Structure formats: C-alpha cells, structure tokens
Structure 1
Amino acid sequence: MNPTMGLQLLLMAGGAVGVAAVARRRGWPAPLLLVAAGLLVSPLVPAVPLQPELVLFVFLPPLLYSAALDSSYLRLRDVKGAVALLSIGLVLFTTAVVGLVVHLLLPQLPLAAAFALGAIIAPPDAVAAVAVGRRLGLPRRSLTILIGESLFNDATALTAYRVAIGAAVGGSIDLFQGVAQFLFAALGGVAIGLALAFVFAWVFQHTRDSLVENTLMLLIPFAAYLAAESVHVSGLGPEPVHASGVISVVVVGLYLGNRMHQRGFGTRLVSDAVWKVTDFFLESIVFALIGLQLVTVVQGITGYSPWQVAGYALAVLAVTIVSRFVWVFAFTPLVKLVRRGGDAPSPQQRVILSWAGMRGVVSLAAAFSIPPDIPARDRAMLLFLTFTTVIGTLLIQGMTFPALIRKLRVSSDQERYEDTLAEAAAQQAALEAGLAELNRLVEHEGEPDEIKKQVIDQLREKSWRRSLTAWERLGGGTAQGGAETPSSLYRRLRRDMLTAEREVFVRLRDERRLDDEVLREVMAQLDFEEAILER
C-alpha cells in the first residue's frame, strides 16, 4: 500500500468516526448520517472502491459475531419460526419476485442474472432498524426477530446468489441442485460452528485470563468464517459449494454468548468494551463506504437514458419494499410472529417489521463481486440497481422509521416495568442466599472480633443497598414527594467523593509523590466503583 492510499483510508476512517460521533451526540441514527455524508462527499474526493473480499472476510465476521454474542439464544429460540420465515422464506420470495420483475423490465438481461440481483438485495441489514428500535423502546420480541433475521438471512442470500450466478455463468441448475447447495451450506455451517464452539469453550475453561480470552475472541469470527468457507463439495453445480461461513460465525457466537457467565468478571467487562469499540468503528466505516460508492456506480451506466435508469431503480426499490409487506402480512400470522403460543401479531407490529427492511453493505459487496463473465453493461446495471435499492431503503425507510414507531405507539414500557420487577425479585432472592451464606460462614468461624464484626456489617449493608436500588427503580428512582431515594442520594454523594479522591491522586502524581503506574492502579479501582454506581 502506497502512502497516498494509506492516507486516503485513514482520512476516510477518521471522517466516518467523526460523523458517527456527531450522530451519537445529537441522538441521530448514525448509519443514516454516515450514508448521507458519503453521498455528499463522493463527488468531491477520490474514489474509494469497495472490495468484496474486505467486506465479506474482514468486516462481516466480527460484526456478525458481536451481534450473536450479544443476542439471547433463549429469545431467538422462542421466535425461531418467525426468524426462519424471514431469513429463509422472505429472502427466497424476494429473490424470485425481484428477479421476475427485473427480467420483465430488462428482457435482454438473462433470467439467472435477474435472480442474482434479487438474491443480492434480498437480505436486510438490521443495524439501523435495531439501533432506532432500541432507542425508541420497540418491544423486545420485535427486536429479537429483526436481530435473528439479520444474523441468518445473509447465509440464505449468499447461497441463492451463488446458485444464480453459477447458472448465469455455467449453465442451468435444476431445483434439486439448488436445494442441495443450500442444505450443504446451512448444515455444513452449523456443524463447523458447533465443532469450533466446543473447541473454543474448552480452551476458555483452561485459560482463565481475561486478556488472553478477549484476544482469542477477536480471532474467533475470522477462524469460524474461514474454516467453513474452506469446506466445499463438488458435483452440486458448475462451481464447488462451500459451507456457510456466516452461519458458522453466528453459531459460535450464540454458543459462547450463552455461556459467557462461565467466564470471569474481567473477561466480561473487557469483552463488552472491546466489542462496543469494534462495532462502532467497523459500522462507521461500512456505512460511509456505502455512500462513497456513488460516483463509481453511476459512471458504469451507459446506453440508457436518465429517465429509464430512474424508472428501473424506482421499480426495483418499490418491489423490494412491497414484497416484504406482502410476505409479513400474508404468512407471519400462521406462526404467530410476535407471541409464540399467544395472540397473533397486531397490525402495528407487522407494519413495523415490514418497514424495517433497510439493506446494507453485504448487498453491495455481493454486487461488486459479480464475475466478469457477465457482460459489462449488465454488470453495471445490476450494481446500479443494488446501490439505489440500498440507498433508497436506508434513507427512505431509515429516516421514517422513528416517526412510524411513534405514530403506531409500539412501546416496550410494560416490558421494562416487568424487567425491573423481575430484577428486584431476583436481587431479593440473591440477597437472601448471600446473607444465608454469610451467616453460615460466621457460625463456622466462631465468635467474630471487633474488626470482623465491622466487615460483616459492611457486607450486610452493601447487600441490602443493592437490593433496595432495584426496588426503588420501580418507583422511577424517587421517593414520595419527589425526594431522592436513599440509594440515589448515596450514589450522588459517592460520585462527588470519587471526583475529589481522583483530584488528590492526580495532584500527588504531578508533585512526583506518586508514580504513574500506581496512579493507574488506584484510578482503575475508583473507575470500577463508579461503574458499579452507574449500574
């Protein structure tokens, strides 16, 4: 890499992080602002080509792994029917509908290439939708469905894309071969993911070192993805069929995330920080890259009038959006999408799920990876239609999604109250168990001396205060008459004390009466205490 290109990439990454920082400060959806900023500066800066290998092998695995690690396996299991309908059924439905419409609009485009376009734009990227939904209090089940869909739909879409491209390049593929390719990719990805999950879980049981474990965590998504993609079989089509690296990464992430409680507290604290930074950085670059492709995509279009191109783009965008509505409203009531074993989803919930179909960088990466065997004119049109669909869904659906949630009054207020009530009850049960263990230890060790009595009293007081905090949150954190609760008063005064203590440590360091290494150690202790206060 020459210095000029390195500087260009550095400026792009720095600019993306800066735009995302502004979005966070203002409370705006960062993905949408990044895309808009990329579109605005694209004509003014040198082209930043989107490399499919960079997206599929560098960006996608850690983002998928982080989302899977942070997901609830139990909640996903509860909505597995809905997730399957969206991540498999809807992807194939969108592929077929969009492919047929594109073939009707552009008869000169081979049907297999049209289906390849359908597969490319079929999988939504739920990053923007989930970010907005969490901020505005979208019900947990709806969020879980969107997250589960985004975890698994890439595997379906990429498999369908490979089948369609194989047919376009190497001849026809019958239905049996297509189904066999999908099953091998899915089942192979699951098998490899489970095998690696067991291996990594065994390794973690023998490390017990937060730094080592989190370093391994950074390597796991790449190892899982490459291991699956390295396994292939021939005879099911013109090209070898690979196991799904996407599914492999997701399976490993779900397995290890569901067992994160077995790791030490240091591993969990560091892991949370590491993946938050990783997600923020990679997502900032990814969404900025989408907008920066404007000039590259437009320059490749030749032989069409602007009105024709605009008409094709609007038609594909409309079909993509409408097909999701048709699928959700026609099929989701059959499996009771939101309430398993309960009421069918409300119309408001179905509208929210239907409108949460923003596309992302995986679609663009697949479009950029269309092989040169496809005629250049057709490749340029497929890339352009992919780009306009991605931008259209992100800006149109993404910008209106918050207003739609507010308008339909879909809220998780009741869930939050139930969560707080459940936490308070759990804290009470844990408190009683902890105090019972403390009393057992005291009886076992005999009559305590004065120092031990003080320590025991402090332990009991701290346990009661933690339990009291959970119950106080049920009342909104205020006592009767609007006064501060004891826990709130304690946290406010202790924070002020911590600030004063930090100032003393820093002053002593500046006076050369305390070494920097000692300062970092004591500051870490105070930081941990403040983190507990924030919780």
Structure 2
Amino acid sequence: MEGIVDTVVLVGIAVVGAALARRLGFVAPLVLLVAGLGLSFVPGVPEVHLEPELVLVGILPPLLYVAALQTSVPAFRLAIRPILLLAVGLVVVSAFAVGLVVHAVLPEVPFAACVALGAIVAPPDAVSATAIARRIGLPRRVVTILEGESLLNDATALVLVRISVAALLGSAVGFAEIGAAVLRNVGGGLLIGFAAAVLVAWLLRHISDPLLDDAVSLLTPFVVVIVAEELHTSSVVAVVVTGLYLGHRIPYLLSPTSRLQMDAVWRLLIFLLEGVVFLLVGLQLRTLVTGLETDLATTVQLTALVFGTLVAVRFVWVYPATYLARLVPSIRRREPRPPLSVPAVIGWAGMRGVVTLGAALTLPNTPDVADSYPRDLFVFVAFAVIVLTLLIHGTTLPALSRRLGVREDTSTEDALAEAAVQHAASRAAREALEEQAGDAPASVVDRLRALTEGRSNVAWERLGDQSQETPSAAYGRLRREMIRAERRVFKEARNSGRIPEEVLVRAQRELDLEESQLNRSDD
C-alpha cells in the first residue's frame, strides 16, 4: 500500500509541476527537475532509488517510440547526414574526449572506465530537445536534426558503454570484437525493428476494434525492447526503426476512430512519463550525495572538466560538420549554406536526460572491479551533467536563438500550402459526391457540397486578416453556444428521468466530438 501511495503522490506532483510550468510559460522538464532537486532534501520525503532497468526498459521505450512515430520520415531522410554526424560521430568523439580528460585527472583509473563515463554523458536527451526546440520556434530542419540526433545517439552511446565495460571487466576488445559488437547491436536492432514493424502493421490492418489497436500500440515498444535485449542487440535502434516505419504508415493502417483514440492515449501516457522521469532524476540528488565517497575538490573539478569538455567538443564538431560537407558540390546544391548562428544554436542544444543516469547506474559494482574505479563519483558526475545542461542550456537556449535570429515563422507558408492542397482535396471530394450521389435526396447532396466548400474556405481564411472575426470563427463561436444549450437540455432530461443514462452518454459523445473538432479547427 505504501508503494502505491508513493506512486500516486509522485504522479500528482508531476501533474501539478507540469501545470505550473505551463502557467508560467516554462518548459515542464526544467520545472520538474528543480522540484525534484528541492524535494530530495525535504524531511519526510522518502529516498527514491532509480533502477537502470526501469529507465532503459520501462521509461525509454515509449518515449523513443512516440518521438519516432511523430517524426517526419521524408524530413528525417533529407537530414540523415547531419543526424548521423551528430548521433554517431559526435557521440564517439565526445566519449573519447571525456575519457582522456577523466584519465588525466584520475590516472589510476583504467582508460576503459573513463571512456565508459564519456559514452554515458555523451548523448543529448530526446524529451528535452523536442520540448524546447519546438516551443521556441526553431527552423524545421534544425528541429529535425536535433530530434533525429536524440533518437539515434542513445544507441551509439549504449553500445560504447557495453564495449567499455567489457574491456573494464577484462574481456579482449580489439577491432574485430568492436566491429562484431557494432554489427550485432546495430544490425540486429535494425532487423528486429523492421520485423516488428511489419508484424504490427499486419496486425493493425486486420484489427477493427479501436481498443485492440490501442492495446497493440501500447505493447509494441515494450515487446520490441524485451526481444532486442534478450537477443543482445540495440533495443534503441529497434524501437526507433519500428516507430519510424509505423508512424509513416499509420494513416493507411488505422481507422479514424483508432487514430484519434490512440493519439489521446499516447498523449496522456507521455505527459505522465515525461513529468515523472524528470522529477525522479531530481529526487536522486540526496541519494547520490550521501553515497559519494570522493572528496569535494576532486568531485567539483571532474564535474566542471567533463561539462566543459562536452560543451567545447560539441561546438568544435558542429561547425566543421556543417560547413566542410558543403565543399562537396552535390551537398552544396542540395543544402544551402546556413548562417553561423544555426550551428551555434545546434551546438548549445545539448541537454542530457534520464538515459544518461540510467546508463550510469548500469556501471558494474562487482568485487573484481569495485576498487579499480570510483563508481559513486562517475554516477554523480553523470547526474551533475544532466542538471547542468538542463538548467544552463535549457533556460538560455530560447534567449540565444532569439538573440541570433534563429527562428522560423512558417505559418503563412503552411497556410498557403494547406489551402492549395485543401482546394484540390475539395475538388476531388465534389467529384466523388457527383459520382456517388445517385438517387440521394437533393438536400443531402447540397449539405455535403456546402460542407466541402466550407472546408476549402476555412483553409483560405487563414491567409486573411486575423484581426477580424472570420466566417469560420463566427461559426465556431455560435456553434459552441448551441452545443452548450443542447448539452444542458440533455442533462436536465436525464436528471428528471425522461431519458436513461445511456441516452445521455450517447448524445454527449456526439456533442463532444463535434466541439472537439471545432477546437481543433481553431488551433
């Protein structure tokens, strides 16, 4: 019972923190992290021990899966070169750079352990990158690059951690062994992810019940991770591949009801997971501080050096990766040279997250290696890097992008493109109506024709003067008042016993769906 109460309290704090963040205009992960840091030292708050399996198998899969589902595959494909340079190249370089720095400060620690710490702190976080980049209005290509990096860099980092830990435990690690490990992890992850995506797509095509669709969708990332882990391949690659494949094909796999319902289910689950995960990270502070056996001076020095190395290496990598590639004529023609401010923003968007802490907690603590490296110090440094990057980079990135002018307002272009496509869609709809009308009543045909014309008009209205109320806005305002009046009558009829509860529920659902559609049209 006590565990259930603690879980409810934790979720409740996360919900209140997220609501407060929205009201204050802050990013929820930052507010919840600070709340967790403060609560970790409040008397009476129990210590929370974050298990690595919970992070890497319970929390990470759905977060990565939904991020992949929402990623545009065409945009991802066009940005694959910078994404791989960051997700693979930068992670490897950062891991070895941090390893060299740590080994210089602690020469008695095996270099393999130092590289393991470097790999742990190297990958930026998917949740914080997406939340902040989208909120501050960065250019779409920049957002795609940051999202793509955060989707794939965990796989690179976790493979490096496994190889480094194997070397620390005394296993022979040469080029052949490293190549085999990479092939097994990445190649195996690709195969498992693709096979799982094909299987799930087949299931979704043959399921007509929205509840079963939701159940399959919820189970998918966890099953993929479990299978990938059992086969000792990269579960991150497997989940991301599955999510990208299914996300691109969902319009063809699910019914409209299933898509709407699944979207609502995933939005709620991710909202709760994101809130709880950053709160949990903050709550680790007391446990990590009390368990720290290294002296304060060494701890502060190593933390500062690791943080500074990560920031410096990211900038040193991003600028050449951005401009040297454009010396190739084909790349230069396809990708115009961006201003210096764009790689500056990408370089500063290196917030770390829960994967870093989860990977740090997997560091071995067995008797044969316990005295060879300071595990408590390494875990604390990983935690400190998360806090520093989120608080420093996360709070200053909006101001930096605003100062450098790295913003993109595509509302007009989007509205124009939508209006053009909607015009073509409306024409196709009218043609289908004329072909299928047959002996349908003229009133029905006229109503459908007016509905189609209304959709087209709404799309064009978005290009007009927004200071005056448009016909569609007036329609929405008046129709909401009408729906409220209808809803009130149905409730009174239920209360007086004129209709049963089932009739109210059915009518309420129809009215809710219509009002929800009106609200979506306003967004």
The normalised TM-score by structure 1 is: 0.92
Cα deviation, 1:393-433, whole Å, max 9, x if unaligned, reads 011111111111211222221x3321111110010001011
Q: Is the 8 A contact 2:294 2:377 kept in 1?
A: no
Work out whether residues 325 and 354 of structure 1, in 8 Å CA contact, stay in contact via their aligned partners in 2. Answer: yes
Question: Is the 8 Å Cα contact of residues 360 and 378 (structure 2) preserved in structure 1?
Answer: yes
Map of 1:405 onto structure 2? 401
The one of 430, 433, 443 aligned to 1:438:
433
Would the aligned equivalents of 1:32 and 1:395 in 2 still touch at CA under 8 Å?
yes
User: How far apart in 2 are the matches of 1:400 and 1:103?
Assistant: 31
Residue number in structure 1 paired with 2:218: 218
CA distance in 1 between partners of 2:376 and 2:262 (Å) = 42
Instruction: Report the counterpart of residue 510 of structure 1 in structure 2.
Output: 495
- Equivalent residue runs for 1:136-535 within 5 Å: 136-231=136-231, 242-262=232-252, 263-304=254-295, 306-335=296-325, 341-373=334-366, 374-375=369-370, 378-413=374-409, 415-442=410-437, 445=438, 452-476=441-465, 478=466, 482-534=467-519, 535=521
Task: Name the SS of the counterpart of 2:173 in structure 1.
Answer: coil
Q: Deviations over 1:355-384 (max 9, x none)?
A: 110000111011111111332661011111
Q: Deviation per CA, 1:251-272: give whole Å up to 9, x if none.
A: 1111111111111001110111
Supply the distance in 1 between the matched residues of 2:338 and 2:166 (Cα, whole angstroms).
39
Structure 2 counterpart SS, 1:302? coil
Residues 313/345 of structure 1: CA separation in 2 closer, same or farther (3 Å cut): same
Distance 1:252 1:303 in 2: 43
Q: CA offset at residue 204 of structure 1?
A: 1.2
- Shift in Å, 1:223: 0.9
Of 328-337 and 35-44, the range deviating more from structure 2: 328-337
Offset of residue 23 of structure 1: 1.1
SS in structure 2 opposite 1:330?
Answer: helix
* Alpha-carbon distance between aligned partners in 2 of 1:520 and 1:25, rounded to the nearest angstrom: 32
- The 1-side partners of 2:414 and 2:348 are apart by 27
CA shift in 2, pair 1:143/1:524, >3 Å:
same
Cα displacement string for residues 21-70 of structure 1 (whole angstroms, at most 9, x for unaligned residues): 21123321000001001101101222100100111111111111111111
1:471 deviation in Å? 0.6
Task: Quote the Cα distance in structure 1 between the aligned partners of 2:395 and 2:271.
Answer: 20
- Structure 1 CA distance for aligned equivalents of residues 434 and 352 of structure 2: 57
- Aligned equivalent of 1:234: none
SS of alignment partner, residue 259 of structure 1: helix
CA contact 2:129–2:147 (8 Å) conserved in 1: no
Q: Distance in 2 between matches of 1:94 and 1:483?
A: 53
Q: Within 2, Cα distance between the matches of 1:37 and 1:303?
A: 26
Which residue of 7, 11, 19 corresponds with 2:9?
A: 11
Distance of 2:515 and 2:95 partners within structure 1: 51
Identify the residue that residue 25 of structure 2 maps to in structure 1.
27
Conserved 8 A contact 1:129-1:401? no
Between the aligned partners of 1:270 and 1:512, the Cα distance in structure 2 is 31
The answer on whether the counterparts of 1:85 and 1:332 sit within 8 Å (CA) in structure 2 is no
Structure 2 contact 64–126 (Cα < 8 Å) conserved: no
Rounded to whole Å, the distance in 1 between the matches of 2:182 and 2:503 is 57
From the superposition, tell whether residues 63 and 340 of structure 1 become closer, same or farther in structure 2 (CA, over 3 Å).
farther
AA aligned opposite 2:6:
Q
Show CA shifts across 1:479-508 (max 9, x none).
xxx432211111111111111111111121
**Correspondences of 1:126-145 after superposition (within 5 Å):** 126-145=126-145
Deviations 1:435-487 (A, max 9, x none): 11111223xx25x6xxx1111111111111111111110125x3xxx432211
| Distance of 2:332 and 2:471 partners within structure 1 | 39
Question: Partner residue of 2:97?
Answer: 97
Once residues 416 and 145 of structure 1 are traced to their aligned partners in structure 2, the CA distance between those partners, rounded to angstroms, is 20
Name the CA distance, whole Å, in 2 between partners of 1:24 and 1:518: 37
User: What's the secondary structure of 1:43's corresponding residue?
Assistant: coil
**CA positional deviation for 1:130:** 2.0
Indicate the larger mover: 121-130 or 278-287.
121-130
The alignment's C-alpha RMSD in Å is 1.7
Counterpart code for 2:397: F
Contact 2:62–2:221, Cα closer than 8 Å, also in 1 = yes
Superposed displacement of residue 89, structure 1 = 0.6
Give me the whole-angstrom Cα distance separating, in 2, the residues matched to 1:342 and 1:167. 41
Q: Which letter maps to 2:510?
A: Q
Any conservation in 2 of the 1:339–1:345 contact (CA below 8 Å)?
Answer: no
Which amino acid in structure 1 is aligned with residue 205 of structure 2?
Answer: Q
Aligned pairs (5 A) from 1:112-127: 112-127=112-127
1:328 partner letter: V
Describe the shift of the 1:303–1:213 C-alpha distance in structure 2 as closer, same or farther (beyond 3 A): closer
Q: TM-score, normalization: structure 2?
A: 0.95
Q: In the TM superposition, what whole-angstrom CA distance separates every residue of 1:265-320 from its partner, at most 9, and x where no partner exists?
A: 0111011101110111111111001101111111222241x233212111111111
Structure 2 counterpart of 1:375, one-letter code:
A
Worse overlay, 344-353 or 49-58: 344-353
Please report how far the alpha carbon of residue 175 of structure 1 lies from its aligned counterpart in structure 2 after TM superposition. 2.5
- Higher mean Cα deviation, 292-301 or 332-341? 332-341
Cα distance between partner residues in 2 of 1:139 and 1:493? 36
| Counterpart in the other structure of 1:87 | 87
Instruction: State whether residues 35 and 282 of structure 2, in contact with CA within 8 Å, keep that contact through their aligned partners in structure 1.
Output: yes
Q: Unpaired segments of 5 or more residues in structure 1?
A: 232-241
**Partners of 1:78 and 1:280 in 2: CA distance:** 29
* 1:55 corresponds to: 55
Task: Determine helix, strand or coil for the equivalent of 1:293.
Answer: helix
Q: Answer whether contact 2:139 2:408 (CA < 8 A) is retained.
A: yes
Partner Cα separation in structure 1 for residue 272 and residue 333 of structure 2: 36
Amino acid corresponding to residue 285 of structure 2 in structure 1 = L
- The range that moved more, 85-94 or 204-213, is 204-213
Q: Could you give the per-residue CA deviations for residues 326-381 of structure 1, whole angstroms, max 9, x where no partner exists?
A: 11112222445999813122211111111110000111011111111332661011
Conserved 8 A contact 1:357-1:397? yes
Q: Percent identity?
A: 45
| CA deviation after TM superposition for structure 1 residue 11, in Å | 1.5
Distance of 2:75 and 2:263 partners within structure 1: 20
